[in-house]
Amino acid sequence: MINILVTGGNGQLATCIKDIESNYSNLNIIYTDSDTLDITDFKAVQSFFNNKTIHYCINCAAYTAVDKAESEQQIAKEINTLGPSNLARVCKDNNTTLIQISTDFVFKGDKSVAYIETDTTIPTGIYALTKLEGEQEIVKYLKQHFIIRTSWLYSENGNNFMKTMIKLSHDRNELNVVADQIGTPTYATDLAETILKIITTNHQEYGIYHYSNEGVASWYDFAKAIFEEAHINIKVLPIKTKEYPTPAKRPHFSVLDKSKIKTSLNIEIPYWRDSLKKALSNYNG
């Protein structure tokens, strides 16, 4: 039996792991949230690991309010940087492999080809900076790590773009959606499957990996696809980023190159629109 600790147990990704864990009979998964395990408290993390054998820790805990982070810098830093640092140090002492979820936002977004893992990181906001610093803390303290950078996570669980678009369509006839930010929507259940595959196949090629669904889209493309697949009749108008100013700057282009995770870890990746169909078929909103 493989013992796994999942932090951020009430969040979107952790909920997707819960949804599929019954497919993996050899996994014993413990879910915690901030009430049962405060990852920003080193002694609390140490104490939680005491007298337990934890083979893997999946850190789904994160401060993800990108714009709010600009004014709540300390909270973002505690959760996104200090938390992973604490987990890495305790995982090292307990021979535990840490799987950290990171973000495409660590890149500036000024390229025109997909980012590989070794490209220069230039975060442009507090959220992105604290996530990058979290990565750096893990690399500093712990060899046994998988840092998975992903992008535009959505699912039938939690708060995300897909669900927001559907809710907005209930009382609007048209929507303006940014069309000059390019990336890839990622179905959180696909990411959850990938994480559990890494664990169950006992991969030890540690390091930083990129994972998103296949393909490229703008937020406008994503919105259009959601409404088409959900058979919702609404007018969607493309706008520029400058027409929708936000406190935090977003990368204009943050497509992730997945060659490394496909070859090194033998991961198959679905096309984003195929995964969107699955998400919508599971959503009752």
* 128 and 148 Cβ atoms separated by less than 8 Å: no
Token match 């002694």: residue? 43
- Residue closest to 269 by CA, chosen among 185, 208, 205, 154: 185
Q: Which one of the listed residues 31, 56, 63, 127 is annotated catalytic? A: 127
- CA 174 from chain centre, in angstroms, equals 29
- Residue 31 annotated to the active site: no
Dihedral pair phi/psi, residue 119, rounded to 5°: -65, 155
CA distance 158 to 168: 16
* 84 and 134 Cβ atoms separated by less than 8 Å: yes
* 134 and 8 Cβ atoms separated by less than 8 Å: no
Catalytic residue annotation: 127
